[in-house]
Structure 1
Amino acid sequence: MPVTLLRPQCRPECRGWLPRPASGLLAGILSCAMALAGMPAQAADPGVAFSAGKPGGPLPAGWENKPVVHGKALTVYTLVADQGNTVLQADANGAASGLIHEGDVDLARTPVVKWRWKVAAPIPNADNRVGDREDAPARLVFFFEGESSNLSFGDRAESLAASAVGEKLPYATLMYIWTDSAPPGTVIANPHTSRVQMIVVSGASGDAGKWQTLRRNVSADFQRVFHEKPGKLVGYGLMTDTDNTGAIARAWYGDLRFKPAP
């Protein structure tokens, strides 16, 4: 499918997501113990299995509900039952926050992300090309480090402005979004900053109310939209947001896994 590039004019906005680094001590101990026992360490595909939880139970360890901008209302994320499986339900009412995990994934080994999601309905009047209507009922988000000297003057100024108010913007953010404002395959630059690029993957007629299983090569997509190789993945997660339109939205997310490229 041909890709349409939409690049609206950028304006500064501070969006403060960056997960804290965590220790890999337990994984290292387990690996060493298995090696000493003469057993190969079989690592599961990285990601998250919401299906392993119980409806109404705690969210998986290491996942935090982080606001897009401090002071915004938070999207509510809960584990619920769906056709015999446990899934994550997201409810936003004029809210914007993401369920975010540290970047513990080596995209050189497992660059392909596979996930399921379902959206109850499109957000009325939402349009990801327009700043005051830039909402989405479902997103996957990926935050990357990079070389700041590669940034344009405007992007560096934006980053400095964010630092001055206590925020730190990722070098680049890649998103996969559900929207009916543009056809699947469209690439949209966030209307506030070109360092956030969105790829439409769902939202065509008939997609609402149905579970979809999707697969994307994160590394290849990053290189395609940012025209450079990705740096270190520092965080990833999912988000349902309606802070700009003030609407109500609901979505469900199934397990999310990273896999090697075929």
Structure 2
Amino acid sequence: MVTNRRTTLGFGALALLSTLSACSTRPPLPEAGGWHGVRLPGKAPTRYQRAFHEGRWAVEAVADRSVSLWRQRLDLPPDRLGEVSFSWWAPAVVKGASVTDPGRDDAVARVVFGFDGDRSRLSARVRAQFELAQLLTGEEPPYATLMYVYDSEAAVDTLVTSARSERIRKWVLDSGSEGLGRWRDHRRDIAADFETAFGEAPGPLRSVAFMTDGDNTQQQVQAWYGAVSV
């Protein structure tokens, strides 16, 4: 549950524990805090598990030609949206992959935010897509999805509209080999990013998820995710 503007989600102790990286004794394992796996129809799932990595408690993601999300549900109103922070650690990018190409759309790391909104504004085509998605998955898709991505090729700050749904926008924060082998910490004004991406003010924030995938390029992929704060 989000109880204030700067809440560390689920792994409530992660932000504090990350400051102990210089200590020789590993700190205790924090509680999972409501995170759960979300499978995609017809796809093998990525494996997510808690692990201690490079001085931080984290979520390890291992994709073996697979894709799924590790998600926590939220209920954060628009007037509470401000800066979000998150981090990822990648040993390698997905060779030949790019979020700019639907056929090669795999990424070593993504942090995915799902928003609610006024669904009456959606086109008939999008509403039909949402109805089909709900039929296949058993749940209604977010009104809008903003994902931050570590991409293999696309330039940093590239903003991509998904070829599969105009209600999904992908923002590249890291690219190529430069950020590999170390923690990459990111802070974003999520309300401002949403307005840039969608051309409208955000509605309530309903979920946050991690996503590491190698299903399109049929590769094995690994990453670690640190705490998320909103």
- TM normalised by structure 2 equals 0.84
Q: How many residues of Structure 1 are paired with residues of Structure 2 in the alignment?
A: 219
Select the residue among 128, 147, 161 that pairs with 2:99: 128
1:71 CA drift (Å): 3.6
1:194 CA drift (Å): 0.9
In structure 2, the partner of 1:103 is 74
Which range moved further: 86-95 or 71-80?
Answer: 71-80
Task: Tell me the distance in 1 between the aligned counterparts of 2:5 and 2:188.
Answer: 21
In structure 1, the partner of 2:60 is 89
User: Structure 1, residues 162-187: CA drift from partner, whole Å, max 9, x if none?
Assistant: 34444422111000000022111110
Runs of 5+ unmatched residues, structure 1: 1-21, 28-41
User: Structure 1, residues 101-138: CA drift from partner, whole Å, max 9, x if none?
Assistant: 01143452342111121111110111212222111110
In structure 2, the partner of 1:200 is 172
- Higher Cα Rg, which structure: 1
Paired residues for 1:1-262 under 5 Å = 45-49=7-11, 51=14, 60-67=32-39, 69-165=40-136, 166-258=138-230
1:56 CA drift (Å): 11
Task: Tell me the distance in 1 between the aligned counterparts of 2:6 and 2:178.
Answer: 34
1:44 CA drift (Å): 6.0
Q: Identity rate of aligned residues, in percent?
A: 32
The letter of the residue matching 1:157 is: A
Distance 1:187 1:44, change over 3 A: closer
Distance 1:144 1:121, change over 3 A: same
